[in-house]
């Protein structure tokens, strides 16, 4: 409604979406490994990949290797897939998403 929320492309379904409806995944480099982390506060530096709060989008992104493309690097998505899919299926983790909260 007339607001100017930033918009990003979901790497799963490739739909443009306001960032408040997306989850950010960041590429974190540690001393001897690189891993993908869920950037719930959207504060991590570097490239980010954006995804809907939807396991469908996650599996689509994984199937298309969209993470590697988003980060321009080979990334190990196995661990992320586990973390993210449980994160996505836990409705208490959704950010600002009260559309389904009809019991309130
Ligand atoms: Zn999506």
pLDDT at 26: 92
| Half-sphere exposure at residue 28, Cβ-oriented, CA atoms within 13 angstroms | 14
32 CA → ligand 1 middle, Å:
31
36 CA → ligand 1 middle, Å:
18
16 CA → ligand 1 middle, Å:
8
Q: How far is CA 8 from CA 17, 23, 29, 30, 37, in A?
A: 6, 10, 23, 26, 18
Q: Across residues 36-49, what is the average pLDDT?
A: 88
What the chain holds in terms of domains, given with CATH numbers, is: 7-90 (3.30.1230.10)
Q: Across residues 75-103, what is the average pLDDT?
A: 71
Please state the pTM of the whole predicted model. Answer: 0.77
pLDDT digit string (tens) for 8-39? 999 999 999 999 999 999 988 777 777 788 99
With a pLDDT cut of 90, the percent of the chain lying above it is 43
51 CA → ligand 1 middle, Å:
6
pLDDT at 104: 46
């Amino acid at each position: 409604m007339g607001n100017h929320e930033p918009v990003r492309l979901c790497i799963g379904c490739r739909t443009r979406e306001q960032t408040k409806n997306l989850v950010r995944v960041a590429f974190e480099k540690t001393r001897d490994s690189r891993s993908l982390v869920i950037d719930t506060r959207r504060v991590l530096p570097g490239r980010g990949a954006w995804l809907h709060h939807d396991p469908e989008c996650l599996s689509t992104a994984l199937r298309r290797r969209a993470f590697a493309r988003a980060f321009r690097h080979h990334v190990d998505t196995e661990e992320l897939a586990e973390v993210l899919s449980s994160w996505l299926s836990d409705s208490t983790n959704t950010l600002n998403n009260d559309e389904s909260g009809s019991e309130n």
